[in-house]
Amino acid sequence: MIHVRRQIGILALALLTLIAFDRLATAEARQVNAVKDGWLVMKIHSLFIPEDALSGSNIDVDVDHGMVTLKGTVPNETARAKAIQVAKGADGVKGVTDQLRIAPEKPGTVEKAADKTVDATKKAGHETASMTRKAGRKIDDGWIKSKIYAQYLTDWKTVLDDSDIDIDVDNNVVTLNGTVKNAAARQKAVSIARKTDGVKSVKDNLTINSTR
Q: Is the pLDDT of residue 26 over 80?
A: no
User: pLDDT tens digits, residue range 159-192?
Assistant: 888 888 999 999 999 999 999 999 999 999 999 9
Higher pLDDT, 158 or 111: 158
Average pLDDT over residues 131-158: 81
Q: What is the model's pTM?
A: 0.70
Q: Own/partner pairs for 78-86, CB < 8 Å, 24+ apart?
A: 78/53, 79/53, 79/54, 79/55, 82/51, 82/53, 82/54, 83/48, 83/54, 83/57, 83/59, 86/44, 86/47, 86/48, 86/51
Q: Is the pLDDT of residue 44 over 80?
A: yes
Average pLDDT over residues 186-208: 97
pLDDT at position 158 is: 85
Q: Is the pLDDT of residue 59 over 70?
A: yes
Fold of 32-208: hypothetical protein tt1634 (3.40.1520)
Three-state SS string over the chain comes to CHHHHHHHHHHHHHHHHHHHHHHHHHHHHHHHHHHHHHHHHHHHHHHHCCCHHHCCCEEEEEEECCEEEEEEEECCHHHHHHHHHHHHHCCCCCEEEECCEECCCCCCCECCCCCCEEEEEEECCEEEEEEECCCCCCECHHHHHHHHHHHHHHCCCCCCCCCEEEEEEECCEEEEEEEECCHHHHHHHHHHHHHCCCCCEEEECCEECCCC
Q: Which of 3-7, 16-20, 39-43 has the lowest mean pLDDT?
A: 16-20
Whole-number average pLDDT of the chain: 78
From CA 52, how far away is CA 98, in angstroms rounded?
Answer: 20
Q: How confident is the model at residue 1 (pLDDT cuts 50, 70, 90)?
A: low
Q: Is the pLDDT of residue 8 over 90?
A: no
pLDDT at position 16 is: 46
User: Residue type for 21, please?
Assistant: F
From CA 174, how far away is CA 202, in angstroms rounded?
Answer: 5
